[in-house]
């Protein structure tokens, strides 16, 4: 294992489950408010007021869910790998719990991106599924999530499971750019559709501003779900420690 | 007092939500033998696996010649001989091939002593027989032959006498005593009553501590 | 200086001894070596039976079929890479030797490739013939497998290392490793298809080589980390 080097103090405090639990408790409402406001605002603007696409009409509006879900599914994998690396190098319990919480959320997001992609595909291409580069990459990302999740649940010992999952997600992170590149390249070789989601003319601001709101809203929502899961995980693992008992008795 | 060879400070380990030991402190000097005692499931094997570095599931400090063991891992491993529950013997290799492989990986060993070592564990004439045609006890003896080949100062032995006959046990005990007399150190677990008295200390896990011990018991 | 040199000497010696040991183990159980090869052959036979025996169609999909079959055959042999070492305690002794674990692992993966990937590669032209692979693609098929199968062994070893402590390791490895095999599959089949249509293949082979180089550097480290985690449980 790598030797530890000095990091700022707040970094080590993050390693304390109790401190993290409390700070997450304080941050939760703000992110929840942010998520609700941004997503409602973005959704109403995007669905009701943004102009229809000149090619696809109203069906394009599904991007207001599809694109944020796809972006987040990828960020979530990165976060999972970074948290895994932190827990491997600094043996930080909370990082391990964050990494564990990431896998199911990320898988759900990838699934959401695939489902919305399929729904979007039907009016656009006339079929539910097209081997489009982005959709294929997203499918492989879902497979990677499933791998990490399955490995995690196959190992009984919580600590061992966390470490094994961390190694696998790090291997995945090294591979994701290679996979993306190879799939994009494969796609240009076997061009199946004339219209790709990748190459679109620049969107006018009244189309992409609501999208931006939705993306930020999704990030806030993701933060809320992640913190909820991590807090539950902290309670579960620290259930025998004094502060958790006090918390339970107080409530 | 000089720095002990191996020092365990405030060791804590839990398994499946059960605390195996906490606040465990002891040190091992050159020439000493420590017998780890305790009922089944008290964490004897876990402790030995932690000390050898196989398991990282602990909190606390382990020092090797005064340095944190993680920082001197290579030096520590060069000086270690570990004998675990699994003999580490490949069934489709012969005893000699198995030991040759071990010697190739470990610097402080004498490849030329293999025939003699096998004779010492009562396997003379079995050098070229594949290990799968040997009995379980014979397989363990192949693994124990490493004790005759190694110059490593620290031996960590988990139940070394299991499946070994009486005469064999007496010879192994003599070997362990000799190793200690030559300045080597041994940590072992065994259900067998040791005949060794010199330089022997006991560390008890999970039960009542016998008097004169330097450790705390859960 | 002398010391460093000696260390280097002993490292390469450890590598060769480990490689020789694993090859000898494989040789003594040589009957086991045939199964992945037969599997390879049978999977390739399924396609004409299951889809169509039309030479035109088969020659189009031949590259992909051979590659997918090679990939599955490698995967099948992966579980045994560390399994017996784990079961008999040899793995513990490897972990507790002062030799770098990633080096021992690398030697084991090389041996694994020699007894699985290499025979598959040599057998591939036979499958190519059966599937009417165009003559121009044949040498590229062998070359692409020669560069690609070591990567499959390296990546597969990561899965094997992480699951060696688990009873149901075999199925799990596939779930962990198959998505990671995709780039090799894409460039491997891409190379053969390009060759069949008379396009240059240098670029594909270069990418396969680059992926292999990256795998050789990083995979042994990941495998070593995985093994330490598996054994510590």
Q: Tell if the CB–CB gap between B70 and A159 is shorter than 8 Å.
A: no
Predicted confidence (pLDDT) at residue C18 exceeds the cutoff of 60: yes
CB B193 within 8 A of CB B40: no
Among chain A residues, the shortest Cα distance to B17 is held by A240
Q: How far is CA C130 from CA C42, C58, C64, in A?
A: 12, 9, 14
- Per-residue pLDDT band for B60 (boundaries 50, 70, 90) equals confident
Question: Measured in whole angstroms, how far is the alpha carbon of residue A123 from the centre of its chain?
Answer: 27
Does ipTM surpass 0.95 in this model? Answer: no
Mean per-residue pLDDT over chain B, rounded: 85
CA distance A47 to A58: 9
pLDDT digits (tens, 9 = 90+) for B9-28: 988 888 877 888 888 888 89
Q: Which residues contact A45 (CB under 8 A, 6 or more apart)?
A: A209, A210, A213
CA separation, residue A237 to residues A228, B129, B218, C160 (Å)? 14, 51, 22, 29
- Candidates B128, B166, B123; CA nearest to B146 is B123
What contacts 24+ positions apart, CB below 8 Å, involve C204-209?
C204/C144, C205/C140, C205/C143, C205/C144, C205/C147, C208/C144, C208/C147, C208/C148, C208/C151, C208/C184, C209/C147
pLDDT at B200: 83
Residue B217 has pLDDT above 50, yes or no: no
The answer to whether the Cα torsion of B75, B76, B79, B84 is positive or negative is negative
Inter-chain touch A171–C233, beta carbons under 8 Å: no
Cβ atoms of A121 and A130 within 8 Å: the answer is yes
> CA–CA separation, A161 vs A78, rounded Å?
19
- Mark yes or no for CB contact A164/C186 under 8 Å: no
Instruction: Determine the residue of chain B that is closest to C18 in CA distance.
Output: B101
- Strands (DSSP E) contained in B44-149 are 59-64, 67-68, 80-83
Interfacial A residues in 130-159 facing B (CB < 8 Å): 157, 159
Task: Tell me if chain A has a CB within 8 Å of the CB of C95.
Answer: no
CB count within 10 Å of CB C27 equals 11
Q: Which residues pair with B64 in a beta bridge?
A: B6, B67
Contacts of A160 in chain C (CB under 8 A): 165, 229-230, 232-233
Task: Tell me the nearest-neighbour CA distance from C27 into chain A, angstroms.
Answer: 32
Tell which B residues from 63 to 102 touch A, by Cβ distance under 8 Å: 70-71
Q: Residues of C with CB below 8 A from A174's CB?
A: 214, 218
List Cβ neighbours of C166 (8 Å cut-off, separation of 6 or more): A154, A155, C172
DSSP secondary structure letter of residue B150 = B
Shortest alpha-carbon distance between residue C108 and chain A (Å): 20
| Chain B residues with CB-CB distance to A3 below 8 A | 70-71
Of B72, C162, C187, B116, nearest in space to A163 by CA: C162
Our measurement of the distance from residue B73's CA atom to the centroid of its chain's CA atoms, rounded to an integer in Å, reads 17
| DSSP code of residue A45 | I
A18 close to A238: Cβ distance less than 8 angstroms: yes
Q: Which two tokens stand for residue B210?
A: 């016998």
Q: Which of C10, C84, C232 lies at the smallest CB-CB distance from B55?
A: C232
Closest CA to A233 of A55, A96, A40, A92: A96
Q: For residue B216, what pLDDT is reported?
A: 42
C-alpha B44/C-alpha B37 separation (Å) is 7
Q: C43-69: buried (b, 16+ CB within 10 Å) or exposed (e) per residue? A: bbeebbeeeeeeeeebbbbbbbbbbbb
Whose CA is closest to A105, among A229, A237, A233, A234? A229
In the structure encoding, which two tokens stand for residue B189, read together?
């677990």
Q: Do B17 and A240 touch (CB under 8 A)?
A: yes
Nearest-5° angle of CA C140, CA C146, CA C150? 145
CA nearest to A182 within chain C: C183
Over pLDDT 70: what percentage of chain C? 96
Pair of tokens at residue C23: 């090859």
B80: left (phi > 0), else alpha (psi -120 to 50), else beta? beta
Residues 150-189 in C contacting A (C-alpha not used; CB under 8 Å): 158, 162-163, 165-166, 168, 172, 175-180, 182-183, 186-187
Q: Compare CB distances from C89 to B88, B92, B93 and report the shortest one's residue.
A: B88
Q: Which residues of C touch A179 (CB under 8 A)?
A: 179-180, 182-183
Q: How far is B99 from chain A (nearest CA, A)?
A: 29
Decide if B8 contacts B26 (C-beta within 8 A): yes
| Backbone angles phi and psi of A3, in degrees to 5 | -75, 145
First to last CA, chain A: 41
Interface touch C186/A167, C-beta < 8 Å: no
List of residues 6+ apart from B46 with CB closer than 8 A: B13, B15, B20, B55, B57
Question: What is the C-alpha to C-alpha distance for residues C151 and C209, in angstroms, rounded to an integer?
Answer: 9
Q: Which helix (H) or strand (E) holds C90?
A: helix C90-95
- Interval B108-167: pLDDT, tens: 888 888 989 998 888 888 888 899 888 888 888 999 999 999 889 999 999 988 888 888
Query: Which sign, positive or negative, has the C-alpha torsion A46, A50, A51, A53?
Result: negative
Q: Report chain B residues whose CB lies below 8 A from the CB of A157.
A: 57
- Are C99 and B85 an interchain contact pair (Cβ–Cβ within 8 Å)? no
pLDDT of residue A191: 58
The whole-angstrom distance between A34's CA and the closest CA on chain C is 36
C111 phi and psi angles, rounded to 5 deg = -60, -40
B92 contacts on C by Cβ (under 8 Å)? 25, 28-29
Helix (H) or strand (E) holding C65: helix C55-78
Encoded tokens for A2: 């790598």
pLDDT at B39 over 90: no
Q: Which chains touch B (3 or more CB pairs under 8 A)?
A: A, C
Q: What is the pLDDT, as a whole number, of residue B123?
A: 87
CA C163, CA C229: separation in Å to the nearest integer?
10
SS3 of C114-147: HHCHHHHHHHHHHHHHHCCCCHHHHHHHHHHHHH
Burial label, B27 (beta-carbon count in 10 A; 0-12, 13-18, 19+): middle
Give the pLDDT of residue A128: 87
Higher confidence at residue A4 or residue C74?
Answer: C74
- Structural domain containing residue C59: 2-232
Quick one: how far is CA B45 from the chain centroid? 10
What's the gap in Å between the CA of A144 and the closest CA on chain C?
A: 6
3-state secondary structure of B37: strand
Under an 8 A CB cutoff, do A175 and C183 touch?
yes
Helix axes A17-44, A93-125, angle to 10 degrees: 20
Burial class (CB in 10 A: 0-12, 13-18, 19+), C233: middle
Touching partners of C (3+ C-beta pairs < 8 Å): A, B
Label residue C41 by pLDDT band (50, 70, 90): very high
Place of tokens 């997203």: A138
Return per-residue pLDDT of chain A as tens, 251 residues: 444 556 677 777 677 888 889 889 999 999 999 999 999 999 898 888 888 777 777 878 888 899 999 999 999 999 999 999 999 988 888 999 999 999 999 999 999 999 999 888 888 888 888 888 888 999 999 999 999 999 999 998 888 999 999 999 999 999 999 999 999 888 877 655 444 444 455 677 777 888 899 999 999 999 999 999 999 999 988 887 778 888 888 87
Confidence of residue C8 (pLDDT cuts 50, 70, 90): low
Pairing of β B6-15 and β B80-83: unpaired
pLDDT > 60? residue C123: yes
When computed from its CA atoms, the radius of gyration of chain C, rounded to whole angstroms, is: 19
Domain boundaries, chain B: 6-204
Domains of chain A, by residue range, sit at 27-48+60-192+208-240
Q: Is the dihedral of CA B108, B113, B119, B125 positive or negative?
A: positive
Q: Which residues contact C143 (CB under 8 A, 6 or more apart)?
A: C191, C201, C205
Q: What does the DSSP 8-state code read for residue B32?
A: -
Nearest to A1 among B17, B57, B70 (CB): B70
Q: In the predicted model, is pLDDT for residue C200 greater than 70?
A: yes
Q: What angle in degrees, to the nearest 10, is found between the helix axes of C135-163 and C202-232? A: 20
What kind of architecture, by CATH, is found in domain B6-204? 3-Layer(aba) Sandwich (3.40)
Residue A198 is given by DSSP the state S
Q: pLDDT class for C5, splitting at 50, 70, 90?
A: low
What local confidence, expressed as pLDDT, does residue C113 receive? 96
φ, ψ dihedrals at B81, nearest 5°: -120, 120
Closest-CA residue to B172 (of B190, B199, B198, B154): B190
pLDDT tens by residue, B109-120: 888 889 899 988
* Overall domain count for chain C: 1
End-to-end CA distance of chain C: 40
Q: Is B17 in contact with A1 (Cβ distance < 8 A)?
A: no
């Amino acid at each position: 294992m790598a030797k530890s080097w000095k990091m700022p103090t707040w970094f080590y405090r993050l390693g304390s489950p109790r401190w993290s639990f409390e700070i997450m408790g304080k941050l939760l409402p703000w992110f929840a408010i942010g998520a609700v406001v941004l997503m409602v605002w973005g959704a109403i603007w995007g669905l009701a007021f943004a102009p229809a696409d000149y090619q696809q009409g109203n069906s394009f509006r599904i991007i207001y869910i599809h694109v944020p879900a796809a972006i987040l599914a990828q960020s979530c994998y990165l976060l999972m790998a970074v948290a895994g690396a932190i827990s491997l190098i600094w043996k930080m319990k909370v990082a391990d719990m964050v990494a564990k919480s990431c896998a199911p959320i990320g898988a759900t997001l990838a699934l959401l991106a695939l489902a919305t992609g399929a729904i979007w595909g039907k009016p656009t291409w006339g079929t539910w599924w097209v081997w489009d580069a982005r959709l294929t990459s997203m499918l492989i990302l879902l497979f990677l999530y499933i791998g990490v999740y399955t490995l995690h649940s196959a190992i009984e010992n919580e600590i061992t499971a966390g470490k094994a999952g961390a190694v696998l997600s790090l291997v995945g992170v090294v591979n994701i750019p290679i996979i993306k590149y190879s799939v994009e390249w494969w796609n240009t070789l076997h061009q199946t559709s004339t219209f790709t989601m990748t190459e679109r003319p620049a969107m006018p601001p009244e189309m992409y501003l609501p999208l931006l709101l939705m993306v930020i809203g999704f990030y806030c929502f993701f933060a809320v779900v992640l913190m909820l899961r991590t807090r539950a995980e902290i309670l579960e693992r620290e259930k025998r420690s004094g502060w958790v008992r006090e918390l339970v008795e107080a409530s | 007092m000089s720095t002990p060879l191996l020092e365990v400070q405030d060791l804590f380990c839990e398994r499946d939500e059960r605390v195996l030991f906490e606040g465990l402190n002891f040190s091992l000097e050159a020439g000493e033998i420590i017998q780890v005692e305790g009922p089944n499931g008290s964490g004897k094997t876990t402790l030995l696996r932690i000390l050898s570095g196989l398991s990282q599931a602990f909190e606390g400090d382990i020092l090797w010649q005064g340095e944190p063991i993680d920082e001197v891992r290579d030096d520590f491993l060069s000086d270690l001989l570990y004998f675990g529950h699994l003999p580490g013997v490949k069934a489709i290799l012969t005893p000699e091939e198995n030991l040759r492989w071990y010697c190739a990986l470990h610097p402080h060993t004498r490849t030329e002593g293999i025939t003699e070592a096998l004779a010492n564990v009562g396997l003379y004439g079995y050098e070229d027989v594949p290990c799968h045609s040997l009995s379980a006890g014979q397989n363990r003896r192949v693994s124990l032959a490493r004790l005759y080949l190694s110059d490593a100062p620290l031996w960590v032995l988990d139940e070394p006498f299991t499946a070994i006959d009486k005469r064999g046990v007496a010879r192994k005990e003599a070997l362990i005593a000799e190793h200690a007399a030559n300045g080597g150190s041994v940590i072992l677990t065994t259900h067998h009553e040791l005949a060794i008295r010199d330089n022997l200390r006991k560390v008890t896990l999970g039960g009542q501590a016998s008097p004169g011990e330097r450790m705390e018991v859960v | 200086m002398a010391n460093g040199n000696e260390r280097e000497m002993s490292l390469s010696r450890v590598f060769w001894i480990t490689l020789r040991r694993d090859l000898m183990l494989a040789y003594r159980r040589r009957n086991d070596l045939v199964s992945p090869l037969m599997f390879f052959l049978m999977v390739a036979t399924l396609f004409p039976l299951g889809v169509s025996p039309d030479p035109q169609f088969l020659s189009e999909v031949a590259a992909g079929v051979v590659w997918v079959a090679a990939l599955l055959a490698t995967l099948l042999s992966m579980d045994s890479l560390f399994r017996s070492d784990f079961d008999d305690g040899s793995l513990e002794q490897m972990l507790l030797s002062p030799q770098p674990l990633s080096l021992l692992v690398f030697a084991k993966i090389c041996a694994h490739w020699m007894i699985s990937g290499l025979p598959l590669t040599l057998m591939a032209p036979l499958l190519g013939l059966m599937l009417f692979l165009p003559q121009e693609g044949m040498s590229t098929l062998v070359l692409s497998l020669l560069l690609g199968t070591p990567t499959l062994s390296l990546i597969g070893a990561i899965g094997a290392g992480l699951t060696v402590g688990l009873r149901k390791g075999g199925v799990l490895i596939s779930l962990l490793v198959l998505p990671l095999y995709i780039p090799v599959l894409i460039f491997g089949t891409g190379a053969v298809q390009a060759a069949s249509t008379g396009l240059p293949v240098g670029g594909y082979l270069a990418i396969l080589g680059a992926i292999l180089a990256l795998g050789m550097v990083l995979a042994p480290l990941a495998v070593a980390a995985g093994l330490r985690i598996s054994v510590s449980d």
